[in-house]
Amino acid sequence: MPNILIIGATGYVGTALSQSLLRSGNHRIYGVARTPSKALSLSATEVTPILSTSPSTLSHTLTTAISTHHIDIIIDVSGANQESASLLALVKQIGAARLEKAAQDGVTVVPKLGFIYCSGTWVHGSSNEIVNDLMPVGTKDSPTPPAELVAWRCELEREVLSARDVLDVMVVRPALVYGRSCAIWTGLFEPLFQAAKAGSGEVVKVAADEESRPGLVHVDDVAAGFHAAVDKLPIISGTGVYPVFDLQTSQESMRDILGAAAREMGFVGKVELVGAGEDLFAKAMCTTGNCSSGRAKTILGWTPRREGFVEGMSVFVKSWEASRG
């Protein structure tokens, strides 16, 4: 039963992932919590909390936890920037020390510490042309430049892959995620919700591009993808397989998505997509993505089951409304 430590365990993807792994009965799950209340919520879901309330002591807390609980694989689904880079540096140190200690003890064959990083398909940039996870990102040879908001991830991905000498590594890239709380969609859904609540029949302007066709994936399928990555990591590592996998199940029009959401909210006015402007997050949300997930399906055995955002909008809007409080 491998011991898995999830960074971002209380978050949107981390919650779904921890429950997927626990349901299999094959893993013991640990999760980092930044507050006592978050730690309690993890305990309530059978995830063993690693409490770290101060950024200044996080490295010590993680080092101790990884050693004490004999952690086999660390998964970073925190979505952080500098913190993810610092985490990788720490995990590399721990992984190298583990191998060195084994060598000193005369142990010639020892499993490497595993590290799986959650990136995202926005690193491919915006294009209707099909792309795959073997294509370079963030280089002069890339088909398109990455979304500006996440351009930093390209270099971090390369740093993860370069750590293969001391770690078993993998990079998993979900497309734009929907389902459950749909938290990332709040900026686009909220103006429609407020207009519907007010009974307005006027025009509602939304900061989105008319021509955008984002690549999508349900949060349950993201969890299934990472679950498959955990199970296949020790099998793939050291084989020469390029350990980067895109997760996308559909590509749908932003016009159709917001139109369907407005109808389910009871909004009877007109939805006008006025463009993302210079807001980096809004621009990233409008990234058009047409990614192939064939390698995730054939190599990892990923089997997505929740396909179609617009098709299930009646359920997704209700879930979003219930989650907003």
Question: Which tens digits make up the pLDDT trace of 219-267?
Answer: 999 999 999 999 999 999 989 999 999 999 999 999 999 999 999 999 9
DSSP secondary structure letters along 74-99: EEE-S--SHHHHHHHHHHHHHHHHHH
Contact 212, 288 (CB under 8 A): yes
What's the confidence (pLDDT) of residue 307? Answer: 83
3-class secondary structure, 53: coil
Query: So what's the pLDDT on residue 125?
Result: 98
Identify the sign of the CA torsion 134, 121, 167, 300.
negative
pLDDT above 90: residue 53:
no
Q: Summarize pLDDT for 194-220 with one digit per residue, the tens.
A: 999 998 888 999 999 999 999 999 999
What pLDDT score was predicted for residue 164? 96
Q: What angle do CA 220, 191, 193 make, to 5 degrees?
A: 65
User: Options 2.40.40.20, 3.90.550.10, 3.40.50.720, 3.40.50.1370; which CATH number does 3-177+215-249+292-305 get?
Assistant: 3.40.50.720
The per-residue pLDDT for range 303-315, each reduced to its tens digit, is 999 989 999 999 9
**pTM surpassing 0.85?**
yes
User: For residue range 71-95, what is the model confidence (pLDDT) as tens digits?
Assistant: 999 999 998 777 899 999 999 999 9
> Residues 264-288: pLDDT tens digits?
999 999 999 999 999 999 999 999 9
For residues 248 and 293, the answer to whether their CB atoms sit within 8 Å is: yes
Closest CA to 42 of 67, 10, 87: 10
